[in-house]
Every structure is written in C-alpha cells, then in structure tokens.
Amino acid sequence: MVKLDSISKSFGGKSVIENVSLEVEAGERFTLLGRSGCGKTTLLRLIAGFETPDSGTIAIAGQDVGTLPVEQRPVGMIFQNYALFPHMTIYDNIAVGPRVRKHPENEIAKRIDELLEITHLEALRNVYPGQISGGEAQRVALARAVINRPKILLLDEPLSALDLSLRQHLREELIEMQRALDITFLFVTHDQDEAMGLATRMGIMDNGCLQQVGTPPELYEKPQTAFIAEFLGEVNRLTGKVEQKSGNQITLALKSAGTIQCVSDISRPENQQVTCYIRPEKIFFDTGRPQTEPVNILQGTLRQIQFFGSHTRYQLELSGGQTLTLTNQHRKSRSPQHSIGDSVRVLFSVSDVFIPNKNEN
C-alpha cells in the first residue's frame, strides 16, 4: 500500500529523517511511535506531500507519488487540532473536499449520509463545531478525511490534547471506524500505550531513524535495542559478565548476587560485560512449587512496596546493589504477604530474559 525507500530529509542543514525505508500493507493500523522531535510527523508530511524528501522515493498503491501535489495524492489526513471550520455545519465541514473537486452535490450528499451513519453523527449534521464534544470532533475530522475515498489515512497525534479517559474511549472508536471504513491507517504518536493499543504493526523512531518494525508483542518482548526496551515500558536491567556459554545460551555472573541464564542471538566471549533485561510482570515470588520450564532464582531484600489498586509493585535489592522491580496482579487468590526488609526469593523464566542485539552498556 505505502512504500518508502531510503527517504531522507534535512532542514537548514540538520538531518530530520535519515534513510528510512518502510512498507505499510493494505488494511493495517500502523503506528509510528517516538519521542517529540524524532521525525515521525515529518515522515507523515512527506507522505502527504506537504514536504519533499531530499532523497528516496514514496509510492502509494504501486504509484510513485513524488511529483504529485498534495491534492492529487490518494491520502487523507487528520491533524492534531482537527482543523474544523467553526463557521460551517458538520455537514458542510465534511463536504469541503468533494466540493473543491466540484463533485455533483447529489453524490456528495449520498456519501456524507453514509459517513454520518458509520461515524454515528446523523443527529449532528446541522450543528457547528463549537457545539460538539472532542470525541465528536474527532469523528467529524475522520469523516472529512475519508470522504474522497483515499487509499490511506494519516493521523498526526489526534488524541494528544484529550484527557486520559476520553483518549482510551476514542482509541476504541478509531479501531471500530477503521474496520467499518476498510481503510489503511498510519498513526503517529508519542504515547506508548496509545501506539500499542491501536496498532496491528508499529515502528519505533529515534533521531530520524526507524529503529525497529514489528507487532506490539514482538517489539515489547524482543526489542532490538536498549532504547526500545526502555521506551516501551518499565523494564529491569541486570548487568553481569559472561561466565559460561553453550550454543546461544549464556550464564551471567551478577557479582555477589549469583548467576542467571539467558539466551543471546549474538556470540559473546567469556568475561564480556553484558546487560540483560526482564519485564516486572515476568518476575514472581518463589513459592517453592515445581517449575515446568528453566527458571532463574535470585534472593534479595524488599526495599519498596507500592499498592496501585489492580497490582502491587515491589522493589528488591540484590546483593551487590542491583535492583529488581516486580509487579503482582491482584486476583481472587490471596496475594503474597511481604513487608519492607523481608528477605525473599524471586524467579523468572530463562526465556523471558532478553539481550538487545545492539546492547548499550
């Protein structure tokens, strides 16, 4: 559907996009996630035609769009502030695009009726933007962006200005609308939960480069860099030296805290210092029950306990000063009873420990 090949862009001699290649398939909800200023909005503007790349090509549905002006590209776009015209009714806001293209009014009316039904805006056709809610404004912007039947819809952080509860509700609405419209979404955001909640696939950007592409579980559980591991949620870091290796499995010595085993896709020599990662929700208190898969067991002292309603967060200090954070979800079964200062044993599966391919020490 959309193919970017070696796209680069600079402003005033400063590189903003650097050699980005990406393919977004038809029907995907693809999110570009990154910190503010990483280049993700610029990439969206290059696809839309608001900016021109210094090098590389952009194709949509197999057509090179490099020479096409904005109005001729088969894309729709929703901006962060929705950009609705306050002096026009909802109906007239949606009708702007086809009227500019001089489509027959009866065809415009038929298409708007379809979109008002899909977006649940039938009752608001004759009201003005100042009279509707933020969620309704988003649906109007969505209807206006897709009325000309674009191949792909570009969304530039459309939820960032809304409060948390409304953002979660509108994420669900966007997924429903995308399915109903049968259109490809390319969504830009700096919010990790938003990106992972919306995406069928996603890409992580940093400093103008596309760092990794995959499904949300792939990126969360097997990040290729330390930056991605830490950017996509809370994660524990354990640093040790390679003590032993057998195939792709290595044993790390954590000084006086003992040893752990993990899997490395890269050959690592003995005595090399390596940092491995483990998510807090993958760590459990040792109850003494037999395990069905290889596990690591560490002992330490509880230093913090924080209650968060759905779960409790524990911080454990290991011998030698390294720390581990684990989260215990509250279920019907009784949660473990621990106090600050307790000496406890925790365990985690060998398969849940990961070492990024480009480990940063």
Q: Is the dihedral of CA 348, 349, 350, 355 positive or negative?
A: negative
Strands 14-24 and 2-11: antiparallel
- Read off the pLDDT band of 169 (50, 70, 90): confident
Residue 205 phi/psi, 5-degree rounding, is -110, 145
Helix (H) or strand (E) holding 194: helix 192-198
Mean pLDDT value across residues 270-283: 93
Q: Write down the pLDDT at residue 261.
A: 92
Mean pLDDT value across residues 196-203: 94
Q: What is the pLDDT of residues 279-325, one digit of tens each?
A: 999 999 998 888 878 899 999 999 999 988 888 999 999 998 999 99
Q: Is the dihedral of CA 209, 214, 219, 221 positive or negative?
A: negative
Residue 281 phi/psi, 5-degree rounding, is -75, -5
Q: Write down the pLDDT at residue 314.
A: 95
Mean pLDDT value across residues 202-213: 96
Q: Kindly list the distances between the CA atom of residue 215 and the CA atoms of 30, 78, 151, 352, in Å, as whole numbers in the listed order.
A: 9, 23, 22, 17
Report how far residue 317's alpha carbon sits from residue 105's, in angstroms, rounded to the nearest whole number.
70
Partners of 159 in the β-ladder = none
Across the chain, mean pLDDT equals 89
Residue 361 has pLDDT above 50, yes or no: no
Residue 172 has pLDDT above 90, yes or no: no
Strands 201-206 and 29-33: parallel
Mean pLDDT value across residues 200-205: 96
Task: Specify burial of residue 317 (Cβ count, 10 A radius: 0-12, 13-18, 19+).
Answer: middle
Go through the domains of the chain in sequence order and give each one's CATH number: 2-231 (3.40.50.300), 236-352 (2.40.50.100)
The residue that leads in pLDDT, 82 or 16, is: 16
Q: Write down the pLDDT at residue 42.
A: 95
Mean pLDDT value across residues 170-186: 86
Q: What is the pLDDT of residues 53-97, one digit of tens each?
A: 999 999 998 889 988 888 888 998 887 777 889 999 999 999 998
Report how far residue 129's alpha carbon sits from residue 86's, in angstroms, rounded to the nearest whole number.
5
Report how far residue 111's alpha carbon sits from residue 166's, in angstroms, rounded to the nearest whole number.
28
Whose CA is closest to 141, among 188, 194, 177, 101? 177
Residue 103 has pLDDT above 50, yes or no: yes
**CB contact at 8 A, 351 and 295:** no
Whose CA is closest to 163, among 135, 187, 190? 135
Of the listed ranges 32-36, 96-100, 188-192, 330-334, the least confidently predicted one is 330-334
The position carrying tokens 């790349």 is 53
Mean pLDDT value across residues 36-61: 93
Residue 116 has pLDDT above 50, yes or no: yes
Question: Virtual CA dihedral for 207, 213, 219, 223, nearest 10 degrees?
Answer: -60
Which structure tokens are listed for 55? 């090098």
Of the listed ranges 3-7, 29-33, 99-103, the least confidently predicted one is 99-103
The pTM for the full model equals 0.85
**CB contact at 8 A, 309 and 248:** no
Q: Write down the pLDDT at residue 359.
A: 46
